[in-house]
Structure 1
Amino acid sequence: MERLRMFLKETTLHGAKFIADRRRPIYERFMWFLCVAFAFGITMFVVLALWEKFQTKATITGLDTDFNTWDVTFPALTLCEHDPSNQRIIDEFIQKNMNNTKRIHETKKLLVNLTHFSYKTLKEIKTNSGLLQDNTNLKTLSYQLLSPCYALLAECEFKAEIFNCCDIFNPVFTEVGYCFTFNSPYFDTDIPLSYTLKFFKPEDIRLTDSKWNMKITLARVDPRMKISVFIHDYEEPVGIDLKPQHVWDSRVDSIIFSPKSTYTEAMARQLSIRQRNCVFHDEIVLKSSMLYTYTACMQECRMDAALDLCSCIPHFYPENGDKQYVHCNLKQLSCIIENIKAIVDPKGCGCMLGCSNTVYEVEKHNEYSPFETVVGFEVEFLSWPSVRYKREIIFGWSDLLVACGGVAGLYTGFSLVSAIEFIYYFTIRVYCMSFKSEERSKKRQKIKNLQDLHVTNANTDGSVMIINILPPFGIEFTN
């Protein structure tokens, strides 16, 4: 209490010295105590509000007016036919593998929907026909029954240059079906030898290019054909978290889109993921994807859920190199069917958007009448993509320190030096004073012992001399 009273008398905190002044009336000291307590309460309330702002509103996203680049990456284009199975191939497969002709038609209807990844359909195939064995490799089987690339895509024109579509589109199994993708690193590498994989290199467009588009001519025209068109960032895989920008149904000949890209300045790395509400591509390492994106994170979350529940993953997910993710066979697929709701439930994944991401929105498309059909469509930029958004810090650590220091100084006179004073008074100074008090006690005891010391000496003449030690160390001789 004495140490506390000494601290209150000597500290620079507003009003503290009046509380410790014993010469003041008790009611006056109590009044100053209430004032100081109220000031500290207000300070804590404001500091907590500033801390909450630092945790939830530390960044702001605004238009980047300094953006000036000549090279912009063309988005990835993924085409997913709603029914990619090939009826002729399925007929041949059934005739080759089935002897019971009465059940051919029923099995055919089931196999047509095989590539839609309908788990119940696969289970019905096994139950009704016995056509598939428990150890059947479902991905290999799917490739045997799917329409090849040349049966869907014929000619492509990219930036006014004509290509064979199958030379620039790669096949890929996704959560939404079997697709063909352009300008994306996510494609199947374990495909039959009849397919030719293309080396991936991001395709850019420049301001000087005569065309900023991809024009696709289909190999066949079918009014019943429907194709989901995904326009997405080349770093983002296609999954159930992405919605197609357009479902083509033979009546649209052009899809015109505009990109909205957002990036985050490097200084935002000093904040936590929760504060900036986004994840940098290299901040979290995924086992199933080269870079972190929201879709890749959610996809891996579902893969982990399937692995935990069934010890395998559905065949449309990619297997990784260390064989942790292993594809399910038909027997193991029953477990996936039973737990499908738990697998696709997004709760508990905790995935956030990437700090750099691009969203493509369809601005308009040219549509023909219901009685007309077109043999292809065109995907193009609405205008030169020269607009993007920037996420930057508006309330960082330095801002928090200055704001809290200003509030504490205004209401209580508190500063960093005041904190050092408090620590000093109740740690170093207490130790030093205790050590000094101990030294003084030893000195007093030594003096007391010397005071009690006396020497008696007998002289030759029979008299006695008494020598007394007097403070401070004086000597008195007494006969």
Structure 2
Amino acid sequence: MFVRTKRFEMKPTVAVTDSDMECINFGIDLTSKKTPKPAVCKTVCKCFAITYEDYCRHTSLHGVQYLGEEKRPFKERIFWLSVFVVSIYCCANLILSAYTKWNETPVIVSFAERSTPVWNIPFPAVTICSETKRVLKTKGNNSFVNLYSQLSADMRASRVFQPPNITSIEMEEFRTLLHVCNTHSIQQEMPIIPGDNLDYYKLLERMLPPFDRYFFYCRWLSRFNECDKYFRPTLTEEGICYTFNGLRPTDIYRKDTYQYHHSVQNVSHSTWSLETGYDPASDVETYPARVLSAGARSGIFMTLQSFKQEVDYACRGPVQGFKVLLHAPDDVPQVSKQFVRIPMGREVLIAVKPNMITTSAGIAEYHPLRRQCFLSHERSLRFFKVYSESNCQLECLANFTLTKCGCVKFSMPRSLDMPVCSEDKIYCYNMAERELLVREFHRVRKLNSNSDMSRDLETACNCMPACTSLVYNTEISQANFDLHEMLAAEGDTEFLRDYPGSQMSRLSIYFKQNQFITSKRSELYGVTEFLANCGGIFGLFMGFSILSLVEMLYHFTLRFGVNLKQLFKVDS
């Protein structure tokens, strides 16, 4: 029943050698340990030194091979290191100068490769203003000079201007003439003139002398015709003038402006633009018009007339006659800024020399502040469809006048709901124009004094030139035009009976040459030129190239890794 248990004795263990243990563990080294960190750092430094010496022996950079030679004396190494540092410093300075030039003046204006025929551009728009704003009234005491004298007296006495025995029409005409006569004499303390708001355009139109009496006859492209076939009325700061070959208001102004809605012409669309020119399929007869050659026969010729008894010297001063302005068809005429005076009894010949600046396709990639001009789609104006520097400045003046005076001058571009300045605001809008110029002057001077800021800032108006622009320069010659001597020689006595007091002048406008040299905005330094400039500087001072950079990257990345791997194998 009882089972006797066996007695087991513990026998001594057999000693196993390390070699036998390795066999038992199937080659697994259980006693291996990680390489200590000091050994790793030492290996990396040794690898870097080997790679550096190898790079110095094989690099194409000038002078670097002397820095890696072990047997090279220490003084010579210091010398070549100094030369290398000086070369890098010179390279950095020259490259910085090239970068500054590329960044600040990337665009250059130079002459185009080919000349341009005059039929590629429109004939200049011609705006003519007569100095006679209203036929002088000789009857009654309510002439402009008498009413203005009473206004000055009331101004000094701080009284309300209420002249006796004056009709409402005479008062409206006098109030309108205050805006177009010598407005510089208007002072700030103008007395209040009672009355409702006026439509100055209708009043100016009503006061104008008959058009056919002052524009006697015209000739365009050797065809005589009535002048009203070529000219249309234009509202300017000097009243209603007449423009030939300008774009219609519907092509210049936006739909929500007063000028667009006041246009009497039908809505039309011009196929010409300053940047693209005429449509290649367009015929000889175009809008705006162009000519096919130079010379007086291919220009416009007209006879202008005024009458001694109708001149009001109190309104426009002692210099009478006409003012003529030549401008691009898409510009709004501003006659008071620049004009040619046409005195009476003279024949004036105006030879036109176009000055056109075009744009290369490459500069469109630059920011407008860098190239210092606007493309047509980059600067949108509130009142105008077409951007030009003069249109932008006129819009800026209108906005500034509205802010300062609470109204705009009757001739300024405006929306339908903008108030028009009355007579008590004449001094205000005259001073607003001067204040805007002074403010722009101080702002530009401040920007120029800080060259770092001026590259990134713009003026308040932000009216840089258009990248493509067209200006008509003129050469003027004059001669006497003796109307009375000519009539006496011909025995004509009826003309002076039909036109008593007539004074005549003749005006001829034409291109001087068949072709002209245009200017072109193009890249001064593109990316390619900048890289080539940098490569030349590096090559001159150091013998550096793109392959030198690849060589450096190769040695200190791929080659360094291979050397480091081999050193770790040797250490293990």
- Do they superpose with TM above 0.5? yes
- Aligned pairs for 1:152-301 (under 5 A) are 152-175=214-237, 177-185=239-247, 187=249, 190=258, 196-197=264-265, 201-207=287-293, 211-218=297-304, 220-222=306-308, 225-239=320-334, 242-244=337-339, 246-262=340-356, 263-273=358-368, 276-301=371-396
CA-to-aligned-CA distance 1:341-363 (integer Å, 9 cap, x gap): 21344433453333333332332
| C-alpha separation in 1, matches of 2:402 and 2:427 | 13
1:398 to 521, 528, 533: 528
Decide whether aligned partners of structure 1 residues 297 and 12 sit closer, same or farther in structure 2, where only a CA change above 3 A counts.
farther
| C-alpha separation in 2, matches of 1:270 and 1:180 | 41
Decide whether aligned partners of structure 1 residues 13 and 225 sit closer, same or farther in structure 2, where only a CA change above 3 A counts.
same
1:101 paired with 2:148, answer no
| C-alpha separation in 2, matches of 1:279 and 1:338 | 29
| C-alpha separation in 2, matches of 1:258 and 1:415 | 54
1:385 to 504, 514, 538: 514
Q: Offset of 1:311 from its aligned partner? A: 4.6
Which amino acid in 1 is paired with 2:391?
A: A
- Aligned pairs for 1:50-449 (under 5 A) are 50-54=98-102, 55-56=104-105, 58-62=107-111, 64-68=113-117, 70-88=119-137, 100-101=164-165, 112-116=177-181, 118=183, 121=186, 127=191, 130-133=193-196, 135-139=197-201, 141-147=203-209, 149-150=211-212, 152-175=214-237, 177-185=239-247, 187=249, 190=258, 196-197=264-265, 201-207=287-293, 211-218=297-304, 220-222=306-308, 225-239=320-334, 242-244=337-339, 246-262=340-356, 263-273=358-368, 276-320=371-415, 327-329=420-422, 335-337=428-430, 339-345=432-438, 346-347=440-441, 348=459, 349-368=461-480, 375-391=504-520, 392-393=522-523, 395-416=525-546
Which moved further from structure 2: 68-77 or 325-334? 325-334
CA-to-aligned-CA distance 1:121-173 (integer Å, 9 cap, x gap): 4967x616x2444x445555544544464464343221122333234322223
1:73 match: secondary structure: coil
Which amino acid in 1 is paired with 2:245?
A: N
Q: Which residue of 2 aligns with 1:447?
A: none
| C-alpha separation in 1, matches of 2:307 and 2:66 | 93
Structure of larger gyration radius: 2
| C-alpha separation in 1, matches of 2:248 and 2:60 | 64
2:114 match: secondary structure: coil
Which amino acid in 1 is paired with 2:334?
A: G
Question: Do 1:87 and 1:112's aligned partners in 2 also have CA atoms closer than 8 Å?
Answer: no
Q: Offset of 1:231 from its aligned partner? A: 1.4
Q: Offset of 1:112 from its aligned partner? A: 3.8
Q: Offset of 1:253 from its aligned partner? A: 2.1
Decide whether aligned partners of structure 1 residues 251 and 75 sit closer, same or farther in structure 2, where only a CA change above 3 A counts.
same
Q: TM-score normalized by structure 2?
A: 0.61
Give me the CA root mean square deviation: 4.8
Q: Which residue of 1 aligns with 2:152?
A: none
| C-alpha separation in 2, matches of 1:282 and 1:117 | 39
| C-alpha separation in 1, matches of 2:263 and 2:137 | 19
Count residues with an aligned counterpart: 430
CA-to-aligned-CA distance 1:280-304 (integer Å, 9 cap, x gap): 3344222233322221222223223
Question: Do 1:257 and 1:382's aligned partners in 2 also have CA atoms closer than 8 Å?
Answer: yes
Where relative contact order (Cα < 8 A, 6+ residues apart) is larger, the structure is 2
Q: Which residue of 1 aligns with 2:492?
A: none
1:127 match: secondary structure: coil
Question: Do 2:66 and 2:80's aligned partners in 1 also have CA atoms closer than 8 Å?
Answer: yes
| C-alpha separation in 1, matches of 2:213 and 2:515 | 37
Which moved further from structure 2: 205-214 or 280-289? 205-214
| C-alpha separation in 2, matches of 1:155 and 1:247 | 19
| C-alpha separation in 1, matches of 2:230 and 2:474 | 23
| C-alpha separation in 2, matches of 1:338 and 1:240 | 18
Which moved further from structure 2: 375-384 or 147-156? 147-156
| C-alpha separation in 2, matches of 1:194 and 1:309 | 26
Decide whether aligned partners of structure 1 residues 111 and 269 sit closer, same or farther in structure 2, where only a CA change above 3 A counts.
closer
1:47 match: secondary structure: helix
| C-alpha separation in 1, matches of 2:113 and 2:233 | 36
Q: Offset of 1:115 from its aligned partner? A: 1.8
Q: Which residue of 1 aligns with 2:12?
A: none
Q: Which residue of 1 aligns with 2:452?
A: none
| C-alpha separation in 2, matches of 1:195 and 1:285 | 22
Decide whether aligned partners of structure 1 residues 339 and 421 sit closer, same or farther in structure 2, where only a CA change above 3 A counts.
farther
1:342 match: secondary structure: helix
Structure 2 residues not aligned, in runs of 5+: 1-43, 148-160, 271-286, 312-318, 442-458, 485-501
Name the structure with the higher strand share.
1
Which amino acid in 1 is paired with 2:381?
A: L
